[in-house]
Amino acid sequence: MSLPKAELHLHIEGTLEPELAFELAARNGVELPYAATDELRKAYAFEDLQSFLNLYYELMAVLRTERDFEDLANAYLARAAAQGVRHAEIFFDPQAHIARGVGMGTVVEGLWRALGSSVENHGISTQLIMCFLRDESAESALETLEAAKPYLDRIVGVGLDSAEVGHPPVKFREVYEAAAALGLRRVAHAGEEGPPSYIVEALDVLGVERIDHGLRCVESPELVARLVRDRVPLTLCPLSNVRLRTVDVLGDHPLPAMLDAGLLCTVNSDDPAYFGGYAGDNFEAVRVELGLGEERLRELARNSFLAAFLEHDEELRGR
């Protein structure tokens, strides 16, 4: 579906399609424990967030050079453009690369080779959001922010991702304070698998402007009322929720009720190579499976520009 939209919840490493993974493995002499793309695709039957993350981190081994990150980003941007994405705020996970000996500079410079010319080449404006891995230590997050200092002109904000349960937002208070002092915008995954209290904590302790996922807010009427009152955007990822079994089937997704409640919802693809679709595919899926009409789909597209870290004139051009 090609309704113009902004994508606000997209992990660039989660756009690694099996074909590109094998191409990069061959180029870099990296052995993958799968014979071919169809065997790899069979590994995409996930039980929960952790079972997905295991494969997501394993496949990153093929990303080694600036050119790899450039190719990865260009492949995403081409697919996103074909599905109506006009603006993309792109997450990346530097700690997952640094741990493999691939430095911050390789990742950011490589991504920038694609993002720097994305408006001309793909018709998509872009921003980068650097995520901290919440299952790593608070000290590691602080070191990562330090390593990013030479590249802050290319990074709009910070986020928090990876295994949620047992790693509450409060663990990252200090690094979020430091990020805010550097002028960085703040978002965090919360309420994907974790409880509604993690959403409250992300708002109160980390000072985030948007909640990534936020799905489990529906368990707390008090929290829903607050999110509605304060117009806090939620970056929902419907196909991701089905694949990671947060909801049983898409027809059970609370998105329609969340819109009816007045929540500022957006629809995004999360890790599209793993979860069965890009931004337009997510819009199409909620249209078909949740029976959302034209008005609701336009509202979701409008919300995506309202919730973006865009200047107002860019926002108007994006519509």
Stretch that binds Zn ion, among 25-33, 130-138, 268-276, 282-290 (CB under 5 A): 268-276
Based on its alpha-carbon atoms, the radius of gyration of the chain, rounded to whole angstroms, reads 18
Distance in angstroms (rounded) separating the CA atoms of residues 110 and 104: 10
Please report how close the Cβ of residue 49 comes to ligand ES4 at its closest, in angstroms: 6
Q: Does 7 bind ligand ES4 (CB under 6 A)?
A: no
Q: Looking at beta carbons only, is 193 or 270 nearer to Zn ion?
A: 270
Which DSSP state fits 291?
A: -
9 is known to lie in a ligand binding site: yes
Q: Does 9 bind ligand ES4 (CB under 6 A)?
A: no
Which DSSP state fits 211?
A: E
Subset of residues 75 to 104 that bind ligand ES4, contact rule: CB under 6 A: none
The beta strands (E) that lie in 215-315 are given as 233-236, 264-267
The residue from 7, 89, 136, 192 that is catalytic is 192
Q: Does 192 bind ligand ES4 (CB under 6 A)?
A: yes
Distance in angstroms (rounded) separating the CA atoms of residues 287 and 223: 27
Which of ligand ES4, Zn ion, none does 122 bind, CB closer than 5 to 8 A by kind? none
Residue 299: active-site member: no
Helix (H, G, I), strand (E, B) or coil at 133: strand
Please report how close the Cβ of residue 50 comes to Zn ion at its closest, in angstroms: 14
Q: Does 164 bind Zn ion (CB under 5 A)?
A: no
Looking at 80, 271, 283, 305, which residue binds ligand ES4 (CB under 6 A)? 271
Q: Does 210 bind ligand ES4 (CB under 6 A)?
A: no
Q: Looking at beta carbons only, is 11 or 171 nearer to ligand ES4?
A: 11
281 is known to lie in a ligand binding site: no
Distance in angstroms (rounded) separating the CA atoms of residues 22 and 3: 32
CA proximity to 61, closest of 95, 23, 89, 21: 21
Distance in angstroms (rounded) separating the CA atoms of residues 198 and 169: 6
CB–CB of 206/218 below 8 Å?
no
Q: Does 89 bind Zn ion (CB under 5 A)?
A: no
Q: Looking at beta carbons only, is 274 or 310 nearer to ligand ES4?
A: 274
Which DSSP state fits 236?
A: E
CB–CB of 237/214 below 8 Å?
no
Looking at the annotation, which residues are catalytic? 192
Question: Can you give the binding site for ligand ES4, defined by CB under 6 A?
Answer: 11, 14, 49, 56, 161-162, 189, 192, 240, 270-271
Which residues define the annotated binding site?
9, 11, 189, 270-271
